[in-house]
Amino acid sequence: MAGAVDVRPSPIAGRWYPREPGRLARSIDAYLEAAPPAELHGTVVALLAPHAGHMYSGAVAGHAFAAVRGSSPRLVAVVGPIHDAHRAALLSSGHQAYGTPLGSVPVDQIALRQLDARIKAETGRPLTLIRGDDEHSVEIGLPFLQRALRGEFRLLPVMVRRCGREVARGLGRALAAVLHAQPSLLVASSDLSHYCPQDVADRLDAELLKRVEALDPEGVLRAEAEGTGAACGAEALAAVLWAARDLGADRARILRHGTSGDVTGEHREVVGYGAAVMLRGRGNTEVRRREAT
């Protein structure tokens, strides 16, 4: 008999999102349904989605994940920052699966080994595996994917420490090389500005999202470095933009912007959230897009 699967238990269920499966499913479905549908011609290559607690960012995240509702990628690469200090620049999970109240999501071990080899070739650095982590940037979007996607999918989780342009570009090339041969989806997990007054957050977020809409990873990194825009996962987002371009993405659309103040009513210090989709081709596949009115 095969051994039990080594599942990473959720450290955030019951705090960042509901622990009870039925309640979580209903909550996710409500966020997805609240995103008004619209037709968009093209194939979704990648998403930008926030990673704060669902109470705060779920309404914005719903717009991102609704854009792929009903699709069936076999492999989903979720790329986000690691918020705890760590010596390695690029990390992934040493577990065989991620657990959420909606079930476990298997980590694609073959894709993980391929990505490690590609990253070493591109950057000279290994992909460091960690266990028992409490990082939320990868996990927070999994319940959305579990409810939005059709059929089972395998996960390729990547956590990025502040690493600079060259490593981020190398990660983007490596991701594209691994994902190109199969139906896949990229997800950049990043919040935007942090703890600014609402008007400052709106300005910073608008500039950062302008760079995303231009499919400009260099611009994302410059905005963060110059203080004209902000994203806590700037390198992760830039890597996904580079990977999406290598996979043929030719345009991006901003689906929704919001802040924590929209939920709390407190606008003196807010966190910004953005939802975006990156697309390939203009006349191939019609993908339902949920866009804010």
What span, in angstroms and rounded, lies between the C-alpha atoms of 29 and 63? 11
Is residue 14 in a domain? Answer: no
CA 105 – CA 107 distance, rounded (Å): 7
4 CB neighbour count, 10 Å cutoff: 7
pLDDT of residue 38: 58
Give the CATH number, domain containing residue 139: 3.40.830.10
Report yes or no: 125 and 89 within 8 Å, Cβ to Cβ: yes
DSSP 139: G
CA R_g for the chain: 17
* Helix (H) / strand (E) containing 76: strand 75-81
Give the chain's mean pLDDT. 93
Q: Does 251 reside within a domain?
A: yes
Domain span at 115 = 25-290
Q: What is the pLDDT of residues 153-188, one digit of tens each?
A: 999 999 998 888 999 999 999 999 999 989 999 999
Read off the pLDDT of residues 226-270 as tens digits, 9 standing for 90 and up: 999 999 999 999 999 999 999 999 999 999 999 999 999 999 999
> Does residue 266 lie in a domain region?
yes
pLDDT digits (tens, 9 = 90+) for 70-85: 999 999 999 999 998 8
Query: pTM for this one?
Result: 0.93
Asked whether residue 220 is domain-assigned, the answer is yes
108 in a structural domain: yes
| Beta-carbon-side half-sphere exposure of residue 106 (alpha carbons within 13 Å) | 12
pLDDT of residue 226: 96
| pLDDT given for residue 87 in this prediction | 83
- CB-CB neighbours of 225 under 10 Å: 11
In a domain? residue 149: yes
Question: Does 232 reside within a domain?
Answer: yes
In a domain? residue 19? no
The predicted-structure confidence for 47-100, as pLDDT tens digits, reads as follows 999 999 999 999 999 999 999 999 999 999 999 999 988 888 999 999 999 999
Phi-psi label, residue 92: left if phi above 0, alpha if psi -120 to 50, beta otherwise? beta
Q: Which candidate, 187, 175, 190, 173, places its Cα nearest to that of 235?
A: 190
Structural domains of the chain, count: 1
